[in-house]
Amino acid sequence: MVYTPRSTRHGALLVGTVAVLGLLTACGNGKDVHSAPPVTASGTAAPATDASKSPASATSGTSAAASTPTGSPVSPSAPATTASPGGGKTTAAAGSRCHTSELGASVGRNDPGAGQENFPLVLTNKSARTCTLRGYPGAAFVNGSGTQLGPDPRREPGSPVTVTLKPGQSAWAGLTFSNPEISGAKTGTPTSLLLTPPDELDHLTVAWSGGPVPVSGSSSSVSLSVLAPGTGP
């Protein structure tokens, strides 16, 4: 047996204790030297939501204004388009209605039949532009002093159509009444006929040469048809 002095054993024990303490300190210093580096995931971030928008605008997914396929705003007052004879589309000019100042008026030849008197009332475009007429004209018989004779003509049933008039072209409406000599209605003899284009306030004055017209009685009704292209049947 080898004898080890007391001082030598004490020194060895001290060295071993220091080594153990150093190992414990290295393991518990809070630093993990073997920790894996952070992992970054790829992807697309969701867009931020604007909290200032109302719930309706944020969730509806629609715009307050309609748009064309190209994204251009559509004006509510954009002019309407109509089909052209060539199959394309043309834009109707705003305010294309014929005005009284652009028209001339005349009364065509009587075409009597079955006790009826039938006069075409003709409106002709005398302006330099193309314009339109649609519906019924207004008409009234007047005497030499401008007093109206009889009531306004009644409107015959019909389907109004838009009549496009190039410069010089005409549209007509039929004025019809029973022959007073056959109907026995009270008559008056006008000097003029006042003809008002559709949707206009001003009238055109046409000399009347068609003789007596019914102004009262059970068979005194005078009627008007819708406007049609041309100058008469």
pLDDT digits (tens, 9 = 90+) for 42-89: 343 444 444 433 333 333 333 333 333 333 333 333 333 333 333 333
Across the range 203-231, mean pLDDT stands at: 92
Whole-structure pTM value: 0.60
What does the pLDDT read at residue 220?
80
In the predicted structure, residue 31 carries a pLDDT above the cut 50? no
Across the range 21-37, mean pLDDT stands at: 43
Domain ranges of the chain: 100-229
Q: Work out the number of other CB atoms within 10 angstroms of the CB of residue 211.
A: 13
What's the topology of domain 100-229? Immunoglobulin-like (2.60.40)
pLDDT digits (tens, 9 = 90+) for 95-126: 499 999 999 999 999 999 989 999 999 999 99
Q: Which of 2-6, 31-35, 116-120, 176-180 has the lowest mean pLDDT?
A: 31-35
* Residue 233 banded pLDDT, cuts 50, 70, 90: confident
Q: Looking at per-residue confidence, does 31 or 165 come out higher? A: 165
SS (H, E, C) the chain: CCCCCHHHHHHHHHHHHHHHHHHHHHHCCCCCCCCCCCCCCCCCCCCCCCCCCCHHHHHCCCCCCCECCCCCECCCCCCCEEECCCCCEEECCCCCECCHHHEEEEECCCCCECCEEEEEEEEEECCCCCEEEECCCEEEEECCCCCEECCCCEECCCCCCEEEECCCCEEEEEEEEECHHHHCCEEECCCEEEEECCCCCCCEEEECCCCCEEEECCCCCEEECCCEECCCC
In the predicted structure, residue 40 carries a pLDDT above the cut 70? no
Q: Work out the number of other CB atoms within 10 angstroms of the CB of residue 152.
A: 12
Could you give the CA distance from residue 85 to residue 82 in angstroms, rounded to a whole number?
10
Q: How far is CA 35 from CA 26, 38, 40, in A?
A: 15, 9, 15
Across the range 14-41, mean pLDDT stands at: 42
What does the pLDDT read at residue 49?
41
Q: Which residues pair with 83 in a beta bridge?
A: 89
What does the pLDDT read at residue 39?
41
pLDDT digits (tens, 9 = 90+) for 142-198: 999 999 999 999 999 999 999 999 999 999 999 999 998 888 889 999 999 999 999
